[in-house]
Structure 1
Amino acid sequence: MSDTLKDFPITLRFPVHWSEMDAYGHVNNARYFVWFESARITYFTRIGLVNMGHSGVGPILAATNADYLQPVVFPANLIAGARVSRMGRTSITMEYAIADADKGTLYTRGGGVIVTIRYPSYEKISIPLEIRAAVETLEGRSFDPAS
């Protein structure tokens, strides 16, 4: 794993596909959000949040952002990381990073705020205790919901 992503408990590797390039010869900016989503869903699967959707409880993305540090060009092997930086009563703030899997070059940093809701009413609910505990175990630290 790239040293750049050593503090991210969830990482996944993937190649850049030629079709991800745009007319300017680098990966199109929208692809980074797909990569962030892949890392986020991997994280949520690991903590059991994706599977909770069957019970009517699940995540919804409230905000997302990206800081593009360097362009990614074909060919490249990348690694995406996801971690939780904050957990409130109903929301989870995540950080993402995209780096070169071989050289460690950091290409992009990003973030997102995810809210736990009850489907199909879209009512905001408290993060279930078992999800909170799973995040704290994965991250190796506790989170104060009041912060």
Structure 2
Amino acid sequence: MAMTLEDFENAFPVRLELPVQWGEMDAFNHVNNVTYFRYFESARIAYFEACGLFGRKESSGIGPILASTECQYRRPVNYPDRLWVGARIGEIQRFGFIQHYGIFSQTQQALTTEGSGRIVLLDYNTNAKVEPDAQLLARIAELQGQ
């Protein structure tokens, strides 16, 4: 079954709208594969801002770092288009979480791209991994309607 915009909105509690830029196109007349990781990054940062991770890094030195990422291209995206890019947490792990991303094309009215990233919490003062605390876990649960 195809994902509708309503399904997308329900699946991704943090979303942002991005225009496809002409310069993001490649020689095959679709958005270059590297660009999708920039879209994911924008959603990741929006999620971090929504759950207060950047403020924590400033006050405690503890913040997120991307440990790995992947992308599944479902449908090509072309200029002109506007995209909804979303992020959600899929799995809490000992030292961080798995974050999932989706890209929904307004022109195609379809999910075009999915991805994920493993996020580790790091004490930037010591470079040691840190477990998520209760406050962060509560904010993630609140964002995700749990």
TM-score in terms of structure 2 length: 0.91
Tell me the distance in 2 between the aligned counterparts of 1:49 and 1:101. 30
Is there any run of 5+ residues in structure 1 with no aligned partner, and where? 142-147
AA aligned opposite 1:129: A
Q: Secondary structure at the match of 1:50?
A: helix
Residues 1:58 and 2:56 are matched in the alignment: no
CA change 1:99–1:86 in 2 (3 A) is: same
Stretches of 4+ aligned residues off by more than 6 angstroms: none
**Structure 1 residue corresponding to 2:6, chosen from 3, 12, 15:** 3
> Gaps spanning 5+ residues in structure 2: where?
none
- Give me the CA root mean square deviation: 1.4
3-state DSSP class of the match of 1:42? Answer: helix
Identity of aligned residues (%): 40
Native 8 Å contact 1:4 1:104 kept in 2 = no
2:131 maps to 1:131: no
Return the alpha-carbon distance in structure 2 between the equivalents of residues 56 and 21 of structure 1: 38
Q: Distance in 2 between matches of 1:43 and 1:10?
A: 6
Question: Hey, what's the Cα distance between the residues in 1 that align with 2:75 and 2:7?
Answer: 14
The answer to whether 1:70 aligns with 2:75 is yes
Change beyond 3 A, Cα 1:101–1:73:
same
Look up the match of 1:28: 32
Deviation at 1:65, TM superposition (A): 0.4
How many residues were matched structurally?
141
Q: Which amino acid aligns with 1:82?
A: A
Q: Give the counterpart letter for 1:87 in structure 2.
A: I
For 2:37 and 2:5, the matched residues in 1 are separated by 20
For residue 112 of structure 1, the aligned residue among 101, 114, 117 is 117
For residue 3 of structure 1, report the CA deviation from its aligned partner.
2.3
What's the offset of the Cα at 1:95?
Answer: 0.7
1:23 counterpart SS class: coil
